[in-house]
Every structure is written in C-alpha cells, then in structure tokens.
Structure 1
Amino acid sequence: MNSSFGIKYIVQFILFVALQILLMDNLVLFSTGFCFIYVAFLLFLPIGINKVWLLFLGFLVGFTVDIFYDTMGIHAAASVLLAYLRTHLLNLLTPRDGYDTNDAANIHIMGWRWYLVYTFTLLLFHHLAVFFLETISFGTVWYTLLKVVASTLFTGIVLIIVQLLFFSSKRASRT
C-alpha cells in the first residue's frame, strides 16, 4: 500500500462523512427515504482489504456519523455489520477468474449485475440494522420496513450516480 493509496481513501472518508453530515441529513424523501451516503466509503474500498482493518474502518465511519447525529452507536453497529457481511458477500459473488485484489467495487469493472447485487444487498442489511436499532419496537414494523426499502432504493440510486460520475472505468494501477 503506497501513500497515494492511503491519501485517496482518507479524502474519500472525509468527503463521504462531510456529505452525510452537511447535505444528506437534510435530504429526506417523504419522511421515509433517507440517504446514508457515508456507507459508500466502505462499499468502495478495495476488495483485498484486510478484514480486521475493514471492521475498524466500519466502526470509525459509523462512530463519526454517530457523533454528529447523536445516535448512540446505531450507525457504528450498522457499519460494522456491513463491513462484516461485505467479506462474505464478496466470497459469494466471486467471479470465475477471481478478483484482482487492487480492484474496488466499481460498476465499470465488475459490471452492472454484480454491482447492483453487491450494493443493494449490503445496503438492505445496513438499513435494516439502522432503522430497527433506532426503533427497538416491532409495533411499527411496517412503517420501519417502508423506511428500509425507501432508504435502500434512495441510497442505492445515489451511489450508482456517484459511481457513474466520479469513478474511473480503468482498473487500479499495480504498485
């Protein structure tokens, strides 16, 4: 791992957390669809990242959002769950030729179907954790499930737009 690699992901961390806190906090669709763009930091990390490091980064990004949202660890728990499930989902989605360890989850490189399954599955589990930890009640289960589905679709569409606009179609350079 070289220094430009590290700087790239530090900038992504700051950018996605800042977007979440400054912009997405106020962007809600019909009081049910919330966009948690900060999870893009975890989803877009290289496929070959160390699992322990990934779990630590999941906690760090979630805890940072929790500090600003005053949510007492809900986002940290959901982000660690996402980081944990990410490695298992990547194993299930492994292409025949395997992954290039320098590659990140990129719609241009991995293809639409792979990217959509990867993104929406992890977003669904993340959002289930966030909203059910927030509610801690099954009395409003249908409304909570509506929030999960609406937020998963909203966040997924935003992440697709981010991928198409800002991420390269070239493979990561080997260094």
Structure 2
Amino acid sequence: MGKVIIFNIVRFIALIAMQVVLFKNIGYYNLATPFPYILFIFLLPIGTSNFLLYLFAFITGLTVDAFYDSIGVHAAACVALVWFRIFFCNITLDVDVQGSFETPSLGIMGNKWFFSYISIGTLIHHIVLLHVEYFSFSNYLSTLFSILLSSIFTILLIILMSLLFYKRKSRLLGN
C-alpha cells in the first residue's frame, strides 16, 4: 500500500512537471494543445474512494491552473473527468474488480477497455476544459475543432506513455 502511494506521488510530480515545462509550450497554431497530465487521474487505483478521487482531481486541476494562470478551468475539467471515471468503472467492471486496488493500465485491463476508457475520458475532459475556457458560442466550430484536435493529440501522447511503461500481466478483463 505504501509503495502504491509513493509511486502515485512520483507519477503526479512527473506528469505535472512535464505538463508545465514541456507540453505548455507545445501546440499547433493554438488549435491542438496536449494535456497528458490527466493520465494521473486515469491511473489512480480502481479501489480508490470517490471522495479521494474528487479530491485528487481537484488538487491536480488547481496545480495546473496555478501554472497556467487560469482560474479553476483545469480543476473543473478534472472533476468532470473523475465523474466519468467513476461512471465508466461502475458500468464496465465487475464488483470484485471494483474493490481491488489495481491500477487501470494497458497491461492489466486489456486493449479495448483501456483505449475506450482513455478516449472517452479525454474527450469529456477537453469538452469541459475548452468550453469553460472559451465560454462563448462565437466561432463554435473552431472550438469543436480545437476539442477534437487536442483530444487526438492528448490520446496519442497518453497511449505512447502507456506503451512505454507497458507491463504484461494477467488481465482483469478479456480482450
């Protein structure tokens, strides 16, 4: 248990540092901006209580907001992401798996489950993030285009990071 906590603290610091130092300055004409820091929320253990998930998401979002000089935009998007995570895990995982303390990674959950989990969650995060950030219906098509491109960019980075640290273990779900 202590090993999991330390590993998640290191993961939090590493992902936030990469987001602030590296990915803050990467973008494609202000249309596609990656936000791979949300991988921290995706990889929190399955059995984490809902209160702690919301708390970690809020803290993660506020930390990124502090570096981006935004007021609660990332915090709101991270809380929406946790809402999706709880809903998705409740409808797709067995009760005995929900009580486990496994990390929902590519090697444990399988390809289909993990890719749908990452893709839908990233899309929800980006929809909330960019709608709250722009808060306007003028140029709505460019907002939707930015959501789509940023989501694709973030999903590709998250999958790349997941493949770099891929460990083949026994599957909790079938492929």
Amino acid at match of 1:45: L
Distance 1:73 1:21 in 2: 16
Offset, 1:24: 0.3
The aligned counterpart of 2:18 is 19
1:37-76 aligned within 5 A: 37-76=36-75
Offset, 1:169: 2.3
| C-alpha RMSD of the superposition | 1.6
Offset, 1:96: 9.1
Offset, 1:121: 0.6
The aligned counterpart of 2:167 is 168
The aligned counterpart of 1:86 is 85
Segments of 5+ residues of structure 2 without an aligned counterpart are 171-175
Check conservation: 2:19, 2:35, Cα contact below 8 A: yes
Which TM-score applies when normalising by structure 2? 0.91
Check conservation: 2:90, 2:98, Cα contact below 8 A: no
Question: How many positions carry a matched residue from both structures?
Answer: 170
Segments of 5+ residues of structure 1 without an aligned counterpart are none
CA displacement 1:58-101 (0-9 Å, x = unmatched): 00000000000001000001001111221101112225974561
Offset, 1:30: 3.7
Distance 2:115 2:99 in 1: 19
Amino acid at match of 2:40: F
Check conservation: 2:62, 2:72, Cα contact below 8 A: yes
2:110 paired with 1:115? no
Distance 2:72 2:97 in 1: 35
Moved over 2 A (4+): 95-100, 167-171
Offset, 1:112: 1.2
CA displacement 1:102-132 (0-9 Å, x = unmatched): 2212112211111111111111110001100
Report the 3-state secondary structure (helix = DSSP H, G, I; strand = E; otherwise coil) of the residue aligned with 2:35: coil
Query: Quick one: percent identity of the two aligned structures?
Result: 33
Which TM-score applies when normalising by structure 1? 0.91
Check conservation: 2:15, 2:36, Cα contact below 8 A: yes
Distance 1:34 1:94 in 2: 31
Distance 1:85 1:167 in 2: 24
Distance 2:34 2:60 in 1: 15
